[in-house]
Amino acid sequence: MDVTNESLIYLTYNNDNIIKAEYSNHTEIFAADRCWDYSTNKYTSNWEGNWYLNFTQIPLSPSNSYTIALNDTFLVRMNLEYHYSCGFACFGDIRMEQFLCFNSKIEIMFVYFPFVLHSVT
């Protein structure tokens, strides 16, 4: 788990999804992937991952994609990687990641869980 005190984070979102977060130098923290619709063979308007936006802290988006600057925030990045083996022909990997952003009063601003694959063999 990494926790950093950030003076400025740029958050790109719409009213349905978090799309991207960047540091003040525009280095990407994370970016969501577009959902693929296998029935139409096209990308949908939704983004992969689970998310939560606290709209008491973050305003509603006036357009399809809106970027705001979040000042004086704490960014928490949690990673869990678990590798296991249960004998000669059984092994697997589990990887989980999540991002939480708090304001200076430790009120949650957003939570993002990227879509990850779980593989077991």
Q: What is the pLDDT of residues 15-25, one digit of tens each?
A: 888 999 999 99
pLDDT band at 5 (very low <50, low <70, confident <90, very high): very high
Number of domains into which the chain is organized:
1
Q: How confident is the model at residue 119 (pLDDT cuts 50, 70, 90)?
A: very low
Q: What confidence category does residue 121 fall into, taking pLDDT thresholds of 50, 70 and 90? A: very low
Give the type of residue at 111.
V
Q: Is residue 65 part of a domain?
A: yes
In a domain, 92, yes or no: no
Domain membership of residue 103 as a residue range? 2-75+99-115
Give the pLDDT confidence score for residue 116 in this predicted structure.
Answer: 63
11 in a structural domain: yes
pLDDT tens-digit map of 80-96? 888 777 777 777 777 78
In a domain, 81, yes or no: no
Domain membership of residue 89 (yes or no) is: no
